[in-house]
Structure 1
Amino acid sequence: MSEKIYIKNMVCPRCISAVESILKQLHVNYKKIRLGEVDLDAKLNLSQLNKLSEKLKNQGFQLIQDHKTSLVERIKALVIDRIHYSSKLEDSSWATYLNKHLHLDYKYLSSLFSSQENMTLEHYIISQKTERVKELLVYDELSLKEIADQLDYSSSAYLSSQFKQQTGQSPTAYKQSQNKDRKSLDEI
């Protein structure tokens, strides 16, 4: 019987590679690895789970066994994937996007997220978008309008306003500053 496991702090393609390496070291067969989750070929016994949990912990990950916590981690993985690893955000709203992937009502997901993370889901999404804007500003390959389009802002003025509200400085000032304080995706 196959099993799905959820892993906290899997936030990038390198994380997927690290988890894949751990699974191979432990001779755990899997079907698919995505941000925050792994589809295993078979259910793990307690000894295997403990070994996996320890190896993951040594690499900065955490095996999640609580349903609500795993759901919140899946929400985070979907938000991160959509903002940081998609070339253009889908035209659908966040409510539609999360419902499509998780098959649960957005109000429930938002309420659960807030209760588990001590921040609203909307604030988490804005924080992730802000970090992505910082990254794109540092690369200096896209104009502010192109960044706004890519991240589905209604205008570059709205992006600038939200960025300044989040960071205390305009995108231009951030780009020109020497201190480009960026957070890792799992710190948000």
Structure 2
Amino acid sequence: MAILQIRNMVSRRCQLVVQAEFQVLGIRHGHISLGEVEVDKELPTDQRDRLNSALKRWGLELMDDKKAQLIENIKIAIIEMVARSSEKPKLKNSKYLCERLGQTYPRLANTFSEVTGDTIENFIITSRIEQVKELIISDELSLTEISYLLKYSSVAHLSTQFKRVTGLTPTFFKGQNRSKAH
């Protein structure tokens, strides 16, 4: 069995796209998870190239580089950590990533910064704000409830981070999205 690493495969929708492309190309596969697909054996070069071309049309790409794979695994771990933040007690981000990826935090942080030009902490903040935006758009929770759900220390802290990342206040963002819906 072999594992194919796929860049930018960070949502359930991406998994469905990948599954469909594998079916169209007639490639047998096992489990599909964020960033990875199990295959019975290494793909021949021509089949791998066709798959990569099909994936690129969707903004996805097969990865061979070990550093790129590590970065993608860090991003997926962070996205999952943020998405599940309401389910578990708060664990230090560095501890979670070390346990999840089996690497030391300095190695993870240095590799991430070297390859992306950004810090893991900034990516976590951006990912949290993306989650906030989705919750604001769904219009099911108040800002206070969102703040509590995502384990912000206060609504003010959430609002400050939101404005720093998006340039908008959460209230203005919510108003903009309401006006687009009408």
TM-score normalized with structure 2 length: 0.88
What's the CA shift for 1:47? 2.0
* Corresponding residue of 1:184: none
Letter in 2 for 1:74: N
Relative to 1, partners in 2 of residues 1:83 and 1:96: Cα closer, same or farther, differing over 3 Å?
A: same
Aligned pair in 2 of structure 1 residues 142, 69: CA closer, same or farther (>3 Å)? same
Give the aligned partner of residue 167 of structure 2.
Answer: 168
Identity of aligned residues (%): 38
Q: Aligned-pair distance for 1:68?
A: 0.3
TM superposition shift of 1:87: 6.7
Question: In the TM superposition, what are the counterparts of 1:82-161 in structure 2 within 5 Å?
Answer: 82-84=81-83, 86=84, 88=86, 90=88, 91-161=90-160
Q: Deviations over 1:133-184 (max 9, x none)?
A: 112112211121221122221222211121122223321222223699xxxx
SS of the aligned residue for 1:31 comes to coil
Whether 1:38 aligns to 2:37 is: yes
CA distance in 2 between counterparts of 1:98 and 1:87 reads: 13
Distance across 1 between alignment mates of 2:71 and 2:161: 24
- Asked if the contact 1:6/1:64 (under 8 Å) is kept, the reply is yes
Question: Which residue matches 1:70?
Answer: 69
State the alpha-carbon separation in 2 of the partners of residues 101 and 30 from structure 1. Answer: 24
- Aligned-pair distance for 1:26? 2.2
| SS of residue in 1 equivalent to 2:115 | helix
Amino acid corresponding to residue 9 of structure 2 in structure 1:
M
Which has the bigger relative contact order, CA under 8 A and spacing at least 6? 1
Q: The residue matched to 1:42 in structure 2 has which SS?
A: coil
Q: Which residue identity is paired with 1:113? A: F
Distance between the aligned counterparts of 1:104 and 1:14, measured in 2? Answer: 29
Check whether the contact 1:35–1:81 (CA below 8 A) recurs between aligned residues.
Answer: no
1:8 is aligned to 7
* CA distance in 2 between partners of 1:153 and 1:18 (Å): 33
Pairs aligned (count): 179
Q: Does 1:47 align with 2:46?
A: yes
- Runs of 4+ deviating beyond 4 Å: none
- 1:59 Cα shift? 2.3
Is the CA contact (8 Å cut-off) linking 2:137 and 2:177 kept in structure 1?
no
- Please give the alpha-carbon distance, in whole angstroms, between the structure 2 residues aligned to 1:24 and 1:168: 42
Q: Structure 1 residues 2-11 or 92-101, which shifts more?
A: 92-101
Is the Cα contact below 8 Å between 1:83 and 1:89 reproduced in 2? no
Structure 1 position 58 matched with structure 2 position 62: no
Corresponding residue for residue 26 of structure 2: 27
CA distance in 1, matches of 2:178, 2:120: 28
Contact in 2 for aligned 1:7/1:64 (Cα 8 Å): yes
Distance in 1 between residues matched to 2:38 and 2:91, nearest whole Å: 27
Q: Flag the 1:130–1:47 CA change in 2: closer, same or farther, 3 A.
A: same
The gaps in structure 1 that reach 5 residues or longer are: 181-188
TM-score for both structures, normalised by structure 1: 0.86
